[in-house]
Amino acid sequence: MVLGAPNYRRALQQHAAYCEALEDCGLTLTRLEADEQYPDSTFVEDTAVVTNRGAILTRPGAASRAGEVERIAEVLSRFYSELHFIHPPGRLDGGDVCEAGCEAGYEAKRGARSHFFIGISERTNEAGAQQLADWLASHGFTSSFVDIRGVKNMLHLKSGLAFLGDNRLVVSDALADRDEFRGHELVRVTAGEEYAANCVRVNDRVLVAAGYPGFTGTLQDLGYPTIALEMVEFRKMDGGLSCLSLRF
């Protein structure tokens, strides 16, 4: 699909609507000033993995994005007493990391901590994924790898995967038969609506890209109130809803 060049004015409008939706869902936002040196820096999710136990700064797979991490570290230092980092030869994009509740197959209990799916992609390599897995394990989290190299039109794992809570994973058709997701209830996004798989649950609502009535209807049938947001300008840059914020 040829989408054309992004329109800057419309991108700003869509970003403002996204921020407003997060606030409507009950979040308090920290807005960063634009950084003209890094045109991809609006996709802030790729620069860090944040949890309720700590934060780790990534090492983005695109060399042009390396400078973004320093700026995010300054911001996250306000919220975390200690920050960790991915080191060479590791490469890691936050868009390849999906927190998915307690590990499937384990009984939920007080104090149980989340399981993380870590994508191995063109942006995240095995060394970076392993560093993240080791760091997560040191904080009591579990993790597993999902190799998406060679999956067509999937830049990051979360291009085709999202966690809704309630042991439910949203998956695109390309990921629906993967063994890694057994034990979860899968909410499939059908062919033609793949972009909608990158949705975000915030408290009791789900942010979803506008223009995908089939998937939006599926979410509503499952009992999730939805907020549809125009994301066309960010799709032109291989971005989605989760890419535009770090949420913790």
Q: For 159-197, how does the pLDDT look when each residue is reduced to its tens digit (9 = 90+)?
A: 999 999 999 999 999 999 999 999 999 999 989 999 999
> Which residues are annotated as catalytic?
156, 243
Residue 113: pLDDT over 80:
no
> Which pLDDT value is given to residue 38?
94
Residue 245: pLDDT over 70:
yes
What is this structure's pTM?
Answer: 0.94
The residue extents of the domains of the chain are 6-26+160-173+186-242, 40-152
Do residues 83 and 58 make contact, with C-beta atoms less than 8 angstroms apart? no
For 40-152, CATH number? 3.75.10.10
pLDDT in tens, 195-212: 999 999 999 999 999 999
